[in-house]
């Protein structure tokens, strides 16, 4: 009965683990949830107030399918101020989350026979979105030793006449790596020489640490601007995961196609959330900085703690809110009848025996690792680490 695409698609593993952790919690099990990448902070008050005002004013009707002019203008101003990029309204589309922008981009750009280069470890939805649009993901491994950054030689070796695009994600989910300008320039050089379009997912832009500075690959040159679709959103920067507002900026024909696809599928993103998003982008930004400071403190604590645990080693990520420790030294160990053969076994072991939810690296294309989201309180981070320590002491 089901289409091939429906038979092939996998549910998002990150959302699946979150659902499992939340179900256990609802059943009264005290779970520490390092699973999902969702800020634990509340949406800033000024943003919520803007939504309440929108409701009261009756801003509850359809808007243009690709978003309101007011929000597009706020996005254009943000892209100019933060990224040095200039876009007009018809070069911007507002979607129901960055995930939706990425999906619409895949719909607009990919088809049978196309190859799309995805550096691994990758965010879970990229390969499935490519497959859902009948194209082929070409996974290019990056290494821990190189800071999980895509090297130009590896990128270039993966380019074929069928290559349609590269999906770049900096700062990265799951590795937490933020590319520096030099690394971006090397990628851009290959993209320009080999005529590869770049989808640049910059949703963790506001979360960089240790003096790292976010740069958009689109801002490196006029040519890169013409061959890049910048994707961003409010979920991570403004703790607005549930509001479902994301956006894309890029060449007019791509934006028009994405907007038309949207007009035939979801219509506009939620009108009230769009008003709130204008306030999030144009209003005071102090809550963004405050959240970043708190994430940074947790990052430092968690990475140090993970490195103090037997069998784990964790490089210090300079972006996003994920720690990505290497666990491969634990593989082959046992706890009673249970054998830990890889990252899935380890994640199940921690969930069942330590009441700690985290995501196996296999979900991101590298089973040597697991991902812990530190978008949870410092108290939980400390509690979770102690539980992991105790569970590890039972492995032999
Ligand atoms: N890209 C990456 C790398 C992410 O981690 C997320 C978070 N789920 C998204 C895109 C999508 O975010 P949203 O749809 O909530 O805007
Ligand atoms: N991006 C988050 C994560 O990786 C949210 C889950 C999802 O959208 O898949 O955990």
Structure confidence by residue, pLDDT tens digits, 320-370 = 999 999 999 999 999 999 999 999 999 999 999 999 999 999 999 999 999
Q: Give the pLDDT mean for 216-225.
A: 98
Look up tokens 């990520």; give the residue.
317
Q: Classify burial at 296, counting beta carbons within 10 Å of its beta carbon; exposed 0-12, middle 13-18, buried 19 or more.
A: middle
State in Å: Cα 395 to ligand 1 middle: 34
Domain membership flag for residue 210: yes
In a mutational test of the pocket of ligand 1, which residue from 99, 207, 231 has the highest number of ligand atoms less than 8 Å from its CB? Answer: 99
Q: Give the pLDDT mean for 224-247.
A: 98
- What pLDDT score was predicted for residue 19? 87
108 & 248 share domain:
yes
Domain membership flag for residue 68: yes
Percentage with pLDDT > 90 across the chain: 94
- What pLDDT score was predicted for residue 13? 83
Residue 151, pLDDT > 90, answer yes
Q: Using a 6 Å cutoff on CB, does residue 116 contact ligand 2?
A: no
Give the number of whichever ligand sits closest to the CA of residue 100: 1
- What pLDDT score was predicted for residue 16? 82
Among 237, 259, 282, residue at a domain's last position: 282
Query: Which SS3 state, helix, strand or coil, does residue 396 take?
Result: coil
Range of the domain at 366: 4-42+287-393
Instruction: Record the tokens describing residue 273, joined without a space.
Output: 């959330």
Residue 14, pLDDT > 90, answer no
Q: What is the CATH number of the domain that holds 77?
A: 3.40.640.10
Query: Which SS3 state, helix, strand or coil, does residue 154 take?
Result: helix
Which one, of 153, 166, 232, 151, lies nearest residue 196 by Cα?
Answer: 166
Which one, of 173, 155, 171, lies nearest residue 163 by Cα?
Answer: 155
Residue 12 pLDDT class (50, 70, 90 cuts): confident
Q: Give the pLDDT mean for 139-153.
A: 97
Q: Using a 6 Å cutoff on CB, does residue 37 contact ligand 2?
A: yes
Domain membership flag for residue 47: no
**Strand partners of residue 131:** none
Closest ligand 1 atom to 169 CA = 3
Closest ligand 1 atom to 99 CA = 14
- What pLDDT score was predicted for residue 117? 99
Closest ligand 1 atom to 233 CA = 16
Each residue's pLDDT tens digit, 27-39: 999 999 999 899 9
Q: Using a 6 Å cutoff on CB, does residue 101 contact ligand 1?
A: no
- What pLDDT score was predicted for residue 11? 85
154 & 204 share domain:
yes
Among 237, 260, 282, residue at a domain's last position: 282
Mean pLDDT of the chain: 97
Q: Using a 6 Å cutoff on CB, does residue 37 contact ligand 1?
A: yes
Q: Using a 6 Å cutoff on CB, does residue 16 contact ligand 2?
A: no
- What pLDDT score was predicted for residue 59? 98
- What pLDDT score was predicted for residue 306? 98
> Does the predicted model carry a pTM greater than 0.95?
yes
Instruction: Record the tokens describing residue 363, joined without a space.
Output: 């979900």
Among 260, 282, 304, residue at a domain's last position: 282
311 & 266 share domain:
no
Residue 141, pLDDT > 90, answer yes
Residue 8 pLDDT class (50, 70, 90 cuts): confident
State in Å: Cα 371 to ligand 2 middle: 11
Residue 21 pLDDT class (50, 70, 90 cuts): confident
Residue 87, pLDDT > 90, answer yes
Residue 15, pLDDT > 90, answer no
Domain membership flag for residue 205: yes
State in Å: Cα 36 to ligand 2 middle: 6
Q: What is the CATH number of the domain that holds 367?
A: 3.90.1150.10
């Amino acid at each position: 009965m089901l289409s091939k695409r429906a038979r092939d698609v996998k549910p998002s593993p990150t959302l699946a683990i979150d659902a499992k952790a939340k179900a256990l919690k609802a059943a009264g099990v005290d779970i520490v949830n390092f699973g999902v990448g969702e800020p634990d902070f509340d949406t800033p008050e000024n943003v919520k107030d803007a939504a309440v005002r929108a409701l009261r004013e009756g801003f509850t009707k359809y808007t243009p399918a690709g978003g309101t002019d007011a929000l597009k203008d706020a996005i254009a101003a943000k892209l100019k101020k933060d990224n040095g990029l200039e876009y007009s309204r018809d070069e911007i589309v507002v979607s129901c989350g960055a995930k939706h922008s990425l999906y619409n981009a895949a719909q607009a750009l990919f088809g049978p026979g196309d190859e799309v280069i995805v550096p691994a470890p990758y965010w879970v939805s990229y390969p499935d979105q490519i497959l859902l649009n009948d194209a082929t993901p070409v996974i290019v491994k990056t290494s821990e030793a190189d800071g999980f950054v895509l090297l130009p030689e590896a990128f270039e070796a993966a380019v074929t006449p069928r290559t349609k695009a590269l999906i770049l994600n900096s700062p990265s989910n799951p590795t937490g790596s933020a590319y520096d300008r030099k690394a971006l320039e090397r990628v851009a050089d290959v993209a320009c020489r080999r005529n590869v379009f770049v989808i640049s997912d910059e949703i963790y832009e506001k979360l960089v640490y240790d003096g790292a500075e976010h740069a958009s690959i689109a801002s490196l040159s006029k040519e890169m601007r013409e061959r890049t679709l910048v994707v961003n959103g409010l979920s991570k920067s403004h703790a607005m995961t549930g509001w479902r507002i994301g956006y894309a900026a890029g060449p007019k024909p791509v934006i028009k196609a994405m907007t038309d696809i949207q007009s035939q599928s979801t219509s506009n993103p939620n009108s009230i959330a769009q008003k709130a998003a204008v306030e999030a982008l144009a209003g005071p930004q102090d809550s963004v900085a405050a959240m970043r400071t708190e994430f940074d403190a947790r990052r430092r604590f968690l990475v140090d703690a993970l490195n103090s645990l037997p069998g784990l080693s964790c490089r210090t990520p300079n972006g996003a809110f994920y720690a990505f420790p290497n666990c491969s030294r634990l593989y082959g160990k046992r706890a009673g009848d249970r054998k830990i053969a890889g990252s899935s076994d380890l994640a199940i072991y921690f969930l069942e025996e330590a009441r700690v939810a985290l995501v196996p690296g296999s979900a991101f294309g590298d089973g040597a690792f697991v991902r812990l989201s530190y978008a949870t309180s410092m108290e939980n981070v400390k509690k979770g680490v102690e539980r992991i320590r105790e569970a590890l002491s039972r492995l032999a």
